[in-house]
Amino acid sequence: MTAHQDDFFEQVNRYFDEAASLTDYPAGLLAQIRCCNSVYRFDFPLRRTDGRIEVIHGWRVEHSHHKTPVKGGIRYAPDVNESEVMALAALMTYKCAIVDVPYGGGKGGIKIDANLYTVDELERITRRYTHELHKKSFIGPGIDVPAPDYGTGEREMAWIADTYAALNPGQLEALACVTGKPVTQGGVSGRKEATGRGLFFALREACQQADDMMALGLPVGIDGKRIVVQGLGNVGYHAAKFCREGGAVLIAIAEREGAIMNPKGLDEDAVWRHRRDTGSIQNFPGATNLDTRAALELDCDVLIPAALEGVFTEENAARIKAKILLEGANGPTTPEADPIFRQKGMLVIPDIYANAGGVTVSYFEWLKNLSHVRFGRMSKRHEETNERSMLRAIELATGRSFSEEERNQFAKGPDEGDLIASGLEETMVNAYHEIRNMKLKTPQCPDLRIAAFLAAIHKVARSYAELGIFP
């Protein structure tokens, strides 16, 4: 366990305290918002395929019950620990508040390296973990709704949903006990790429602010921005994909085994296939090999850390040359690094806003499971009919005739994926302007991170006031 991991919850609270000092809320209210409401730690045995018995360590933390259910992913990692899970649960509280998703924050963790277990062993671990949560009422559609995180994905979420449904026969909303499921098991189109797409929307909106770009010496817009991505997992891959398709140039990718660079641009799909086939992103045709540290310190316009926390510290912050830091991971920047970034004039788009795409689309999935209706099912044909009527009116007014291909292109009703992407875009755009305006109207607020924490504190405090708990 590193010192950073051991102190992660306290580091989150340092940001909270800095933002809280800009408010006049009672100390008791701030203490309630700051603390974790419930921490559940448990151990259970696993019989390995070779017959050995191994003890598995698990956690589930519910940080805030100002809104229920609480929401947060489950992380499978060999170095996960209680402080880390508490910190991530706290970040989820603030993240949900920032993007106006009506959840409290939660998080879960299992201390394993998933690569060292068979699929059968992982299934038994996941189902037993779900049983443990259910015994203590730490899971349920209106109680606590997990989701994927580092080391987990759709498969694990399907196992959780199936286990919960078996433990609660006949419960109509059982599928809403967890999000990030396969589409065939109650998931939604676009959940897998949601965090990466949300990062793109955040960056695009930031790059549209002429005053901010002028201060950085950059042109307005995302087109042509040179981007470095750390991590080619789900978040990093999709962030790279959407940014490249949006006009940015992906000049470098960093991973655990090293990094590659090509100033003319990289294609994340081709790099992903190369890594799948060779076991490494290095030696990619046309690219130069680098070590990971050197890639993070490249001269670039945008740096996207999309791996684990604690990447930027007091030791390396001064060497970071990026003008915009878009935090795809949770907690990639330590409190010691932030003042250095401020002094350098960097624009840091903080994790508690930037990577909120995942929980936003999880919210849409939860709503779908509760309503039992696929998004777009009730309105798609109606919208297509209206659009075709409009095309016919244009033809009559102008004398122009549209081809059938043009009709199909222009008069396409939105499907579930379209509506999910639209809802995510609306959420990320509105939230960016909210935290930017919070910074602009609060003279003592030093950056967007503290502005985001400040916005979250205001919203959680308002919830407690509406409950009559605090004045």
439 is catalytic: no
pLDDT at position 462 is 93
Q: Which of 67, 71, 107, 368 is catalytic?
A: 107
Q: Which 3-state string (H, E, C) describes the chain?
A: CCHHHHCHHHHHHHHHHHHHCCCCCCHHHHHHHHCCCEEEEEEEEEECCCCCEEEEEEEEEECCCCCCCEEEEEEECCCCCHHHHHHHHHHHHHHHHHCCCCCEEEEEEECCCHHHCCHHHHHHHHHHHHHHHHHCCCCECCCEEEEECCCCCHHHHHHHHHHHHHHCCCCCCHHHHCCCCCHHHCCCCCCCCHHHHHHHHHHHHHHCCHHHHHHHCCCCCCCCCEEEEECCCHHHHHHHHHHHHCCCEEEEEEECCEEEECCCCCCHHHHHHHHHHHCCCCCCCCCEEECHHHHHCCCCCEEEECCCCCCECCCCHHHCCCCEEECCCCCCECCCCHHHHHHHCCEEECHHHHCCHHHHHHHHHHHHHHHCCCCCCCCHHHHHHHHHHHHHHHHHHHCCCCCHHHHHHHCCCCCHHHHHHHHHHHHHHHHHHHHHHHHHHCCCCCCHHHHHHHHHHHHHHHHHHHCCCCC
Domains of the chain (ranges; CATH) run 3-184 (3.40.50.10860)
The whole-model pTM stands at 0.89
pLDDT in tens, the chain (471 residues): 344 445 889 999 999 999 999 999 999 999 999 999 999 999 999 999 999 999 999 999 999 999 999 999 999 999 999 999 999 999 999 999 999 999 999 999 999 999 999 999 999 999 999 999 999 999 999 999 999 998 999 999 999 999 999 999 999 999 999 999 999 999 998 888 999 999 999 999 999 999 999 999 999 999 999 999 999 999 999 999 999 999 999 999 999 999 999 999 999 999 999 999 999 999 999 999 999 999 999 999 999 999 878 899 999 999 999 999 999 999 899 999 999 999 999 999 999 999 999 999 999 999 999 998 776 666 666 577 777 777 777 777 887 787 877 777 766 766 788 888 899 999 999 999 999 999 999 999 999 999 999 999 999 999 988 877 776
